[in-house]
Structure 1
Amino acid sequence: MSSVFGVENSASGVLRRAVELDTSGRYQESLVCYQEGIDLLIQVLKATKDDAKRAHYRQKVTDYMERAEKIKHHVLKEKEEGKYHKQIKILENSTGYSYENLFKPYINEMLTEVWVEDPYIRYVHQLYNFLRFCEMLIKGPSKVKQINLLTSRDEENGKDQQRSGLQEIKNSLLDYGVTLDVTFSSSIHDREIRFNNGWLIKIGRGLDYFKKPQGRFSIGYCDYDLRPCYETSVDIFHSNHTRKT
């Protein structure tokens, strides 16, 4: 009984968040929460024996599924018309913007190739940021087989650290069947990430929008959701014609 109660509380929390995101117009994120909350609520429904409670949960599931379906059609229509554009404002010192939270709504099984254009994948912490981004991609549900990185060389501090770090990431990705192709440019300035499932994400600070933790054993050192951020903007678009150029 206690385990069912725990699942019910989790479902309520996730669905409450879904409604908040829905109300604020953050439809793609709300859809992810609706789907997760519905799955949890179905678990509660299956474990409930009382007929009155079962009828209550069944109606809740139906209501949330209908809303999720409407959102799905709305987002699909915007994508087809090329009108989808969402902007996220990350405020100074705000938390909750790990790569998982930021990119998860746009990753699906259709994703097989990713292009990252970021001039600042040079220093150790930036290499770790890129590594965490790659880890997020291979955890799924995507089927990523190719990651393309366009960045600039670290001429001031020597090339060994950057080159060896990227080579180590490349070798490690091969163990997961993922190929990393690195290209250097001396003129790159813009920062953007492109998915071959149609999503395009532009981040003002690229992947390097996290502040340095207070120490190696401080909260936020491992969990990026708890890491304070620099102020930046994230623009998300969708295009059926997004492709490598």
Structure 2
Amino acid sequence: MGDASNLLRHSYQLVQQATAHDRTGNYQEALRLYLTSLEGFVSALKIEKNEKVRATLKQKMNEYMDRAETLKEIIEKRKGGIHSEPCCVNSNSDLVLPSVPTTSLSLPSVPNTLPGGVDYVVQPTAPIIETPYVPNVQQHHQQPKRGSAGGGAGQLVQSRRIEFGQTGCSYDSLFGQYLASATIYMIEDPYIRARHQIDNLIRLCELIVKRSNSQNSGRPIQVKLVTTSESTTQEDEVKLNFIMVSRVVIVNTKSMMKYNVSFDFEFITTSTIKDTSVITTNRGLTIKISRGLDMYYKPDSLVSIGGYNDDLRPIKHTINGYVKQ
């Protein structure tokens, strides 16, 4: 438990700092600290073998993840509209401040002891804060419909069959041109769980940023992932990884301004999604990959040719289809 205890001590200190920023309305910094602390909790969870300790730790992680999700929503709404009612001055020249709702939200508490009964310095519980008024902003984007792995209506633009071991098949080479000029991208893939599968997702998001030209056009880009999990425990662990993906574009203000991308995700039952990756855009294009995003053979090592450049990595047998609705 030694290594896990050190990780947890540091993570709980970060949570305490996060709640302090949360109390003062510094939501960007609070979210960053919550997510950084969760990285430590994940590392501790991998080390800890005691199931009772793991259960307690997962419970606390869920609290912090829920609060992080709430802060993400507040930050997104602030980014999209007016932050509050404007101040005004009455006839007596007295300053009238905007009203604030009385509804309060409880922040997750910081425990006095570490999971497993390890003593730790007493930490104050997180304060009760009031959520500021954030108006709902009407979105006028046309959301793409979920694709169908079985075909569906639409005109087949191109179909490409790729054999075992073929190279020159990076995402950009295969379908990069079909990602251009859209602003909303829905990705369906049932297997975004392991580290290399999440890396594939990051590569696809990078390609979307590149092809959508969001960096130069200033247009906001929305990316949503629809995926599955085999259990609640696996869903919690994968959900945390997705929150870390969101962190790149939501928490880091400079990154958000630079790339102008938002990321969201949803878990659905395995019976409603096929073993095929489907990418749908609001330009009416659907890209279907029979093998899914996890189409490459594992390289011998990251320091070998093909370790980073997917055009040099052998591919598994797959069929790509491009459909225009």
Q: TM-score range by the shorter chain?
A: 0.5 to 0.7
TM-score by length of 2: 0.45
The CA distance in 1 between the partners of 2:290 and 2:204, in whole Å, is 16
Which is worse superposed, 137-146 or 210-219?
Answer: 137-146
Equivalent residue number for residue 172 of structure 1: 248
Instruction: Indicate which of 155, 169, 174 corresponds to 2:231.
Output: 155
1:38: which partner in 2?
Answer: none
Alignment of 1:129 with 2:200, yes or no, is yes
Distance 2:234 2:176 in 1: 35
| Paired residue secondary structure (2:283) | coil
Matches within 5 A, 1:28-43: none
Counterpart of 1:102 in 2: which secondary structure?
Answer: helix
The answer to whether the Cα contact below 8 Å between 1:86 and 1:236 also exists between their aligned partners in 2 is yes
Instruction: Indicate whether 1:238 and 2:324 are aligned.
Output: yes
- CA 1:167–1:94 in structure 2 vs 1: closer, same or farther (change >3 Å)? same
Q: What are the superposed Cα offsets for residues 4-51 of structure 1, whole Å, 9 maximum, x if unpaired?
A: xxxxxxxxxxxxxxxxxxxxxxxxxxxxxxxxxxxxxxxxxxxxxxxx
Asked if residue 146 in structure 1 is aligned to residue 210 in structure 2, the reply is no
Contact kept in structure 2, 1:92 and 1:231, CA below 8 Å: yes
Q: CA RMSD in A?
A: 1.9
| C-alpha contact 1:107 1:142 (8 A) present in aligned 2 | no
Relative to its length, the structure with more helix (as a share) is 1
| Deviation (angstroms), 1:206 | 1.2
> Aligned letter for 2:324?
H
Matches within 5 A, 1:64-143: 83-109=155-181, 111-143=182-214
Measure the CA separation in 2 of the matches of 1:123 and 1:86. Answer: 30
Match of 2:280 in 1: 194
Question: 1:151, CA displacement in angstroms?
Answer: 0.1
In the superposition, relative to structure 1, how do residues 156 and 231 fare at CA in structure 2: closer, same or farther (>3 Å)?
Answer: farther
Distance in 1, matches of 2:162 and 2:269, equals 28
CA distance in structure 1 between the partners assigned to 2:210 and 2:184 by the alignment: 14
The Cα of 1:207 is off from its aligned counterpart by 0.7
**TM-score, length basis structure 1:** 0.59
Give matches, 1:5-84, under 5 Å: 83-84=155-156
Q: Offset of 1:124 from its aligned partner?
A: 0.7
Q: Post-superposition shift, 1:210?
A: 0.7
Indicate conservation of the 8 Å contact 1:85/1:237, yes or no. yes
Q: What CA distance in whole angstroms lies between the structure 1 residues aligned with 2:279 and 2:155?
A: 19
Shift of 1:161: 4.0
1:181 is matched with which residue? 264
**Alpha carbons of structure 1 residues 215 and 196: separation in structure 2 relative to 1, 3 Å:** same
**Larger relative contact order (Cα-Cα within 8 Å, sequence gap ≥ 6):** 1
The gaps in structure 1 that reach 5 residues or longer are: 1-81, 240-245
Assess, with a 3 A threshold, how the Cα gap between structure 1 residues 149 and 141 changes in structure 2: closer, same or farther. closer
* Distance of 2:174 and 2:293 partners within structure 1: 11
Aligned to 1:49: none
Preserved contact between residue 176 and residue 211 of structure 2 (Cα < 8 Å): no
2:238 partner SS: helix
Q: Which runs of 4+ in 1 moved over 6 A?
A: none
1:218 to 304, 310, 313: 304
Tell me how far apart the structure 1 counterparts of residues 288 and 196 of structure 2 sit (CA, whole Å): 20
Going from structure 1 to structure 2, the CA distance change for 1:83 and 1:159 (only over 3 Å counts) comes to: closer
**Structure 2 gap segments, 5+ residues each:** 1-153, 215-219, 251-255
Contact 1:154 1:162 in 2 (8 A): no
**Structure 2 letter corresponding to 1:184:** F
Looking at structure 1, the residues matched to 211 and 322 of structure 2 have their Cα atoms a distance apart, in angstroms, of 20
Based on CA coordinates, which of the two structures has the bigger radius of gyration?
Answer: 2
> Is the 1:205–1:232 Cα contact (8 Å) retained in structure 2?
yes
Contact 2:190 2:228 in 1 (8 A): yes
Mapped contact 1:122–1:154 kept (Cα < 8 A): no
**How many percent of aligned residue pairs carry the same amino acid?**
32
Distance 2:158 2:308 in 1: 28
Q: Is the 8 A contact 2:168 2:312 kept in 1?
A: yes
